[in-house]
Amino acid sequence: MKVKPADRTNSVQEYYFSRKLRQIDQMRASGADVINLGIGSPDQPPSENTIRRLSSEASKPGVHGYQSYIGNPALRKAFSDWYLKYFRVKLDPENEILPLMGSKEGIMHISMAFVNPGDEVLIPNPGYPTYSSVTNLVGGKIRYYDLDEKNGWLPDIEGLEESGSGNVKLMWLNYPHMPTGTKGSADLFERVVSFAVRNNILLCNDNPYSFILNSEYNSLLAADGAMETALELNSLSKSHNMAGWRIGMVAGNSEYIRSILRVKSNMDSGIFLPMQLAAVEALNNPESWYDTVNNVYKERRQSAESIMEILKCRFSHDQTGLFVWGRLQDEIESCEAFIEEILLKAHVFLTPGFIFGSMGERYIRISLCASNERLNEARERIAKLKV
């Protein structure tokens, strides 16, 4: 190339799922019927009233222009009401909530708003790979904190305290946790907030899995002192089957929100108004709607767990979220080779845990975002391999 890309592109690689989806597309183009149990993209639709609202609003002539950078007031209020009802957190819709084009966008905005080159960022291992890639892109210095199955996949706050906060500016938290499915708790959030306050760290909880196979709704912002030192991301992608709509939010102290807005307002031109108003409809879904969605996931989880059993993986039955996470047998030398063999021979794609960090190297993940029929077919194919 005559023009070289920016040096920052050397700090990140193409997203693992981007590469694998390309491989799966090539296999399908060659005639293979690949069952994708890798990605957590909900295959159930949003509620009917949500879709109707989108359609009716989109047919109006005056709704297709640029929108406010801070989101429509109705959407901010709907997010505020939703947090009060389910998380018992009171948020001012005027200045403590900022709608986003998904929480993944928020990870970048928060990092750009607060992390200077050289600032340290505490990132869970295993954890969502975007925390690391975005930190690299903005010039931050990654400091992983290990989550261990023996410790229930919870952070060792005492160990973090003893290691010293150093130059830590930001700490990423993610409960309910992906990929392990570990629930958060009020006690955990109280201890982490206390740690962050003592060490002057901005604490960010990424909270999109709250409603999936979980009825214990916890928010970091409910902890004492959280509003002075914490932010929380949330999203309609998983909880309301709206992943492709790109609707999310960040909530927290108004000064922090203003700092994020400085970045965001230079990055986009607002969210399509009919989608915002449809999101209001979704946030007003009755509790019974979540129950209906989760009843489907409960049935699928049983099928996914039966795949884990065929693979002789150890796993917990008490996981939340869109996945089942399990530990491989010790005699399997390479998780990546094991997963690739299943893909090439059984035409079933599972996620290797190493993509989430070194603490995930001996684990695999199965998505619940496929019909029970496809999950059962995947189980039958894998059983024939005798892996």
Rounded average pLDDT over 32-56: 96
Judge whether 168 and 42 are in contact, CB under 8 Å.
no
* pLDDT single digits (tens) 237-290: 999 999 999 999 999 999 999 999 999 999 999 999 999 999 999 999 999 999
SS3 state at 172: strand
pLDDT number for residue 387? 62
Looking at the chain, list the stretches that DSSP marks H as alpha helix, in order from N- to C-terminal side: 16-29, 48-58, 73-82, 103-114, 129-137, 157-163, 186-198, 226-229, 236-239, 254-264, 273-283, 287-310, 335-346, 372-385
* pLDDT single digits (tens) 358-367: 999 999 999 9
Residue 199 has which token pair?
A: 């060490």
C-alpha–C-alpha distance, residues 15 and 319, integer Å: 25
Domain extents in the chain? 7-45+288-385, 61-283
Strand order in the sheet with 120-125: 97-100, 248-252, 230-235, 202-206, 168-173, 120-125, 141-146
Band of pLDDT at residue 2, cut at 50, 70 and 90 = confident
pLDDT number for residue 165? 79
Backbone angles phi, psi at 351, to 5 degrees: -95, 125
* pLDDT single digits (tens) 20-39: 889 999 999 999 999 999 98
* pLDDT single digits (tens) 337-360: 999 999 999 999 999 999 999 999
pLDDT number for residue 1? 65
Judge whether 346 and 32 are in contact, CB under 8 Å.
no
Residue 178 has which token pair?
A: 């992906």
| Backbone CA torsion sign across 150, 153, 158, 159 | positive
Rounded average pLDDT over 133-145: 96
Does the pLDDT at position 297 exceed 80? Answer: yes
Longest dimension (CA), the chain: 63
C-alpha–C-alpha distance, residues 117 and 254, integer Å: 24
Mean pLDDT of all residues in the chain? 96
C-alpha–C-alpha distance, residues 3 and 357, integer Å: 33
pLDDT number for residue 18? 85
The residue ranges of DSSP E strands in 174-221, in sequence order, are: 202-206
Q: What percent of the chain has pLDDT over 70?
A: 99
Does the pLDDT at position 148 exceed 70? Answer: yes
Residue 249 has which token pair?
A: 């939010």
Class of domain 61-283: alpha beta
* pLDDT single digits (tens) 216-232: 999 999 999 999 999 99
Band of pLDDT at residue 12, cut at 50, 70 and 90 = confident
C-alpha–C-alpha distance, residues 71 and 74, integer Å: 8
Q: What percent of the chain has pLDDT over 90?
A: 92
Burial of 384 (0-12, 13-18, 19+ CB in 10 A): exposed
Angle at which helices 254-264 and 103-114 pack, to 10 degrees?
100
pLDDT number for residue 8? 87
CATH for the stretch 7-45+288-385: 3.90.1150.10
Does the pLDDT at position 125 exceed 70? Answer: yes
Q: What is the DSSP letter of 83?
A: I
